[in-house]
Amino acid sequence: MTDLTELTAVQLLDGYRKGEFSPVDATRATLARAERIQPEVNAFVRLLADQALDQARASADRWRRGEPEGLLDGVPVTVKDILLLRGAPTLRGSKTVSEQGSWDEDAPSVARLREHGAVFLGKTTTPEYGWKGVTDSPLSGVTRNPHDPTRTAGGSSGGAAAAVAMGAGPLALGTDGGGSVRIPAAFCGIFALKPTYGRVPLYPASAFGTLAHVGPMTRDAADAALLLDVIGRPDSRDWSALPPTPGSFVAGLSGGVHGLRVAYSPSLGGQVAVSPAVAAAVRRAVERLAGLGAYVEEIDPDLTEPVDAFHTLWFSGAARVTQHLGPHQRELLDPGLREICGIGARYSALDYLAAVDVRMELGRRMGHFHDTHDLLVTPTLPLTAFEAGVEVPKGSGHHRWTGWTPFTYPFNMTQQPAATVPVGTDGDGLPVGLQIVAARHRDDLVLRTAHALYEAGITSP
């Protein structure tokens, strides 16, 4: 019999269409899987079983009538507990947020999913306010890696990544302010896309400003394209939202990579120490791209280390999001978050504007780079998943999570689309991710290239 938890959204929809199984079947199976994996990986803040089954029954009725409500009718989806979901508290991984309230509004991406008949399984874990690249919080504890529960799932969308990897829903909504869909997707062996800023509307606005993106986390690029077709629509609550794209991301998947100009940067010009296993897996995937007809050149973009500017922007945002808290509430915060809030509160407006200047210059350089290169390919991360429950690998010498994420956060500063694709494993069986980056507004090229790698069969973790 078909294990419905192993099917993609595209496959589930095909089964609904043919009458082989129903949204109720799929929802029961994914809820059972979610309950089974929860003690092992801690992916969920809360499951919404009763509501999900009600939504699934309504969807099954629509399918029986031959009147599906939208592109994702009856497909189970999870929502990171940073995004508003009507009827469920959004606690943001923090003991400082009260569960009290009506919770009667959906975030824009959630609203689009609801309009298309998706089934909401529950809310997934996040570090407090999504502040770091691993997922543990004072509220919900540590989220663990599906491939080795002693390792981290990554973050900040770690619960979403673990859920998708373990079959607790084929689709997940995550957020990414410095790598937060790509980091956990790479560690857990799934696909994730940080779209061009504004492609997916965000409300309420993030305290981290225009660094923060909403993105799909899925089994493959085809599911991500389908999800982006749904959530990538304007919403009046986000003044920075982009207009609709002409056509469909799904329709653009089939173009292949023949003739694309691909820049391959294995270590950002020697700036990054990449583990040999990661480097080898990424190089094999790049060689496959060349075999599929892409013009591959080993060349490095001018990414002069922008970490100080990123810290100014990020730490200031953290200080802003916690500004309203009193002394007692501050004692409840993750100690690392409390530390960066203190730093962020001491920056001046001129410090912030100087960081914006660095960001704009980085964006200019990357825009120029993409005049001659359609895509940039790098490792997603220089390492595989490390010990759970710590912000940085022990003995690494890093103080903050940005020390081990040099390939991800620069593209939040430039607002470019960037995806991670699983391209193998290391000697411990831990997944390796390859990052694909394109110029702003070329999400279609990122998805098309990732899809080509899936079609070539080299993306299984």
Chain mean position to CA 138: 22
Dihedral over alpha carbons 46, 49, 50, 51 (to 10 degrees)? 70
Determine the pLDDT at residue 249: 98
The encoded tokens of residue 332 equal: 């409840």
| 305 has pLDDT over 80 | no
Q: Which of 22, 80, 109, 157 is catalytic?
A: 80
Determine the pLDDT at residue 262: 98
CA angle 312–313–316, rounded 5-degree value: 80
Q: Are residue 341 and residue 205 in the same domain, yes or no? A: no
- Using alpha carbons, list the distances in angstroms from residue 201 to 62, 108, 225, 357: 28, 6, 16, 25
Which DSSP string do the residues of 53-78 spell out, in sequence order? HHHHHHHHHHHHTT---STTTT-EEE
Q: Are residue 317 and residue 278 in the same domain, yes or no? A: no
Specify if 19 maps to a domain: yes
The H-or-E segment that residue 182 falls in is helix 182-188
- Confidence grade of residue 388 (pLDDT, cut at 50, 70, 90): very high
Q: Give the structural domain span for 72.
A: 4-307+347-456
Q: Are strands 431-438 and 191-194 parallel, antiparallel or unpaired?
A: unpaired
Give yes or no: 102 in active site. no
The H-or-E segment that residue 119 falls in is strand 119-124
Say if CB 257 and CB 448 are below 8 A apart: yes
Give yes or no: 80 in active site. yes
Amino acid at 408: T
Query: How far is residue 97's CA from residue 95's CA, in Å, rounded to a whole number?
Result: 6
Q: Are residue 65 and residue 191 in the same domain, yes or no? A: yes
Dihedral over alpha carbons 290, 445, 75, 246 (to 10 degrees)? -150
Mean pLDDT of the chain: 97
Q: Are residue 77 and residue 225 in the same domain, yes or no? A: yes
Using one digit for the tens of pLDDT, what is the confidence trace for 313-355? 999 999 999 999 999 999 999 999 999 999 999 999 999 999 9
Q: Are residue 261 and residue 327 in the same domain, yes or no? A: no
Specify if 461 maps to a domain: no
Query: How far is residue 93's CA from residue 337's CA, in Å, rounded to a whole number?
Result: 12
The encoded tokens of residue 286 equal: 């790049």
Q: Which of 22, 59, 94, 156 is catalytic?
A: 156
Q: Which of 59, 180, 206, 316 is catalytic?
A: 180
* Averaged pLDDT for residues 114-123: 98
Specify if 29 maps to a domain: yes
Tell me the CATH number at 263: 3.90.1300.10
Q: Are residue 430 and residue 367 in the same domain, yes or no? A: yes
Give yes or no: 123 in active site. no
Amino acid at 79: V
Q: Are residue 270 and residue 326 in the same domain, yes or no? A: no
Q: Are residue 291 and residue 414 in the same domain, yes or no? A: yes
Specify if 221 maps to a domain: yes
Q: Are residue 255 and residue 329 in the same domain, yes or no? A: no
Q: Are residue 216 and residue 322 in the same domain, yes or no? A: no
Q: Report yes or no on whether pTM surpasses 0.75.
A: yes
Q: Are residue 303 and residue 341 in the same domain, yes or no? A: no
| 461 has pLDDT over 70 | no
The encoded tokens of residue 453 equal: 């790698």
Determine the pLDDT at residue 304: 85
Using one digit for the tens of pLDDT, what is the confidence trace for 196-231? 999 999 999 998 999 999 999 999 999 999 999 999
Domain boundary among 297, 331, 346: 346
Domain boundary among 346, 376, 403: 346
Query: How far is residue 277's CA from residue 286's CA, in Å, rounded to a whole number?
Result: 14
Using one digit for the tens of pLDDT, what is the confidence trace for 152-205? 999 999 999 999 999 999 999 999 999 999 999 999 999 999 999 999 999 999
Q: Are residue 327 and residue 418 in the same domain, yes or no? A: no
* Domain total in the chain: 2
